[in-house]
Structure 1
Amino acid sequence: MPEGDSPTVARRRVRLAIREAREHADLTQLQVAEEMEWSLSKVIRIENGDVSISPNDLRPLLTFLRIRDKETIANLVADARIARKRQRQAWYQTPEFRENLTDATRKLIEYENEAAQMRSYSVYFVPGPLQTPQYAVALMTRYEDELTEDQRQRRIAARQLRRDALLGRASAGEVRILVMLDESVLRRTIGGPAVFADQLRELRQLAADNVITIRMVPFTLDAAVTNNAMFDLLTLGEGEVLYRETGLGDEMNEDRETTGKHRARFDKIWDEAADEAATLAFIDDQIRKLEKLQ
């Protein structure tokens, strides 16, 4: 899909142009809402990328924000059409998933479909798209007091759909996935020895097939990537976006300073972590130990 036809990049281009023009005009979101006779929440959701703006709403908004270049206006209107048309077709925007996935998670899924590179770090569990179905079920069961059965089932289904899409793109060479796991992730037997052994075998195979590149942060390395439990840093055609998850909460951050700091920290620890060969040797040893417990 050409970059200009991408719903993700198109919507991102529109909302960033709107936000930058508003800030350049020294206007608040409330002032824009009052002038356009919109609710403040509508302006916030448009600028955050939670919703797409229609071409009919975009044209007068651009006039108010003093964007008068005809080519710029035409390109933004075209982007707005693409973003809205493609958004309605996405599986993660259907009612059953919208009701059970957070806004940040849906954005993450959308960005995964467009990213050229993905850096994933976790200190507690295997990242979602790399989880086997049995591991995902065992992990989600731990949240039975916080999430309903329907929410858990939808999130498990979403992980499988994410997995199919992301790993399919990685297998085709469309996205490079760098995975950095704390040693604890490769020791924590979520689901029991049999389920966890299968999960480790899956990681081993994905690495062997060059679908992912994986490194371990050993306990002996006195360095932390971040205070957050996990994050995904995705490189798009126009910058980077950061998804952070802590317990039951998550967020999407596109601030350049924040994404830059996470990128620098990830790359620094990546160079200091156990390399691929040592990581795979550790995984093989863990599998052998788990097989003896079955």
Structure 2
Amino acid sequence: MQRIILLGAELREARESSGLSTSDSTKRLGWYAGKLSKVEQGDKSVTDRELAKAIDVFGIAPERADALKELAAEARRRLPPARVPEWATKYVNLVAAATELKLFFPDSFPGTVQTFDYARAILRSAVIVAPADVDRMAEERSKRAERLMNSETTRLWLVIGEEALHREIGGKAVLRGQLEQMRSLAETPDTTVQIIPFDGGAHACHGTAFTIITLLEGKPSIVYTEGLTGSDYLGREHVRVYNLAYDNLRAVALSPQKTLEAIERRIGELT
């Protein structure tokens, strides 16, 4: 998934450098309307013939063209399926490939860092998850969280509303277990966890959870937002705005040390 996103970003950059609009490029490529946008967004792979045509239309230099051909071949390799809704599969793969993640969740801990019991409690309440799938999906979430906690390649920023420390999802024992995992996560060198306190006043993102995903430094990031039945992957100007909002969130949140102290206090209250 990382490679198909990178290929799309490279082709978009080449198209823009050539001065061609999306509609003009689509005509020259002989593609159907909307296909180029899907390719540039990383939602669709290209064949060798299609890539060769794009290289010609955009005037891509031979050395760069060779790198794109290799990237395209790797992008077409199929990944093992994740047990998530179809519209969330791309997100799971992007998170696995990310070098940096910035997450904001106002009232709960995100699936990216959930324990098995916490995930199961949330999935049990979901209206789109079949009861037979709950335990297997919770297990996958907990394994992904464990991989992220042990990752040496992903920088994680996590801003959470204080409500997450108090909403007893799954009961006191389950919440305590989740908080203990958050304490461990907050103590790892490549992770920063911050809590926005109840008395912190207004901030830029009330009611809006989102994730900013960076695959490679210097390459375009992607903003992921999710609803009950679908999700959006936003780029370009959206990324600038969400990064600005994230900076605002971190400014009004407790410091990482104060956050760790708040987590410790809450664990003590639940013991």
Measured against the shorter chain, the TM-score band is: 0.7 to 0.9
Distance 2:192 2:22 in 1: 45
Q: What corresponds to 1:26 in structure 2? A: 21
Structure 1 contact 182–218 (Cα < 8 Å) conserved: yes
Matching of residues 103-182 of structure 1 within 5 Å: 103=87, 105-143=88-126, 145-150=127-132, 152-153=134-135, 155-169=137-151, 172=152, 174-182=153-161
Secondary structure at the counterpart of residue 251 of structure 1: strand
Distance 1:117 1:17 in 2: 19
CA RMSD in angstroms, aligned pairs only = 2.7
Structure 1 contact 233–241 (Cα < 8 Å) conserved: yes
Q: What corresponds to 1:275 in structure 2? A: 255
Q: What corresponds to 2:61 in structure 1? A: 69
Amino acid paired to 2:47 = S
CA-to-partner distance for each residue in 1:51-75, whole Å, 9 max, x for gaps? 3212232112433x34253223222
CA shift at 1:189, angstroms?
0.5
Cα 1:209–1:68, aligned 2, differ >3 Å: closer, same or farther?
closer
Distance 2:101 2:58 in 1: 36
- Of 211, 215, 227, the residue aligned with 1:232 is 211
CA shift at 1:209, angstroms?
3.8
Q: What corresponds to 1:3 in structure 2? A: none
Structure 1 contact 107–252 (Cα < 8 Å) conserved: no
Instruction: Give the share of equivalent positions with the same residue, in percent.
Output: 24
Distance 1:33 1:165 in 2: 44
Q: What corresponds to 2:76 in structure 1? A: 84
Deviates more, 1:222-231 or 1:145-154: 145-154
CA shift at 1:16, angstroms?
2.6
Matching of residues 93-104 of structure 1 within 5 Å: 94=81, 97=83, 100-103=84-87
Secondary structure at the counterpart of residue 232 of structure 1: strand
Deviates more, 1:217-226 or 1:16-25: 16-25
Secondary structure at the counterpart of residue 28 of structure 1: helix
Amino acid paired to 1:71 = E
Stretches of structure 2 that go unaligned for 5 or more consecutive residues are none
CA shift at 1:277, angstroms?
2.4
CA shift at 1:159, angstroms?
1.6
Stretches of structure 1 that go unaligned for 5 or more consecutive residues are 1-6
Matched, 1:284 2:264: yes
Distance 1:27 1:139 in 2: 41
Secondary structure at the counterpart of residue 158 of structure 2: strand
Secondary structure at the counterpart of residue 204 of structure 2: coil
CA shift at 1:152, angstroms?
4.0
CA shift at 1:195, angstroms?
0.8
Distance 1:43 1:16 in 2: 11
Amino acid paired to 2:9 = L
Cα 1:53–1:286, aligned 2, differ >3 Å: closer, same or farther?
same
Distance 1:258 1:150 in 2: 37
**Matched pairs, number:** 267
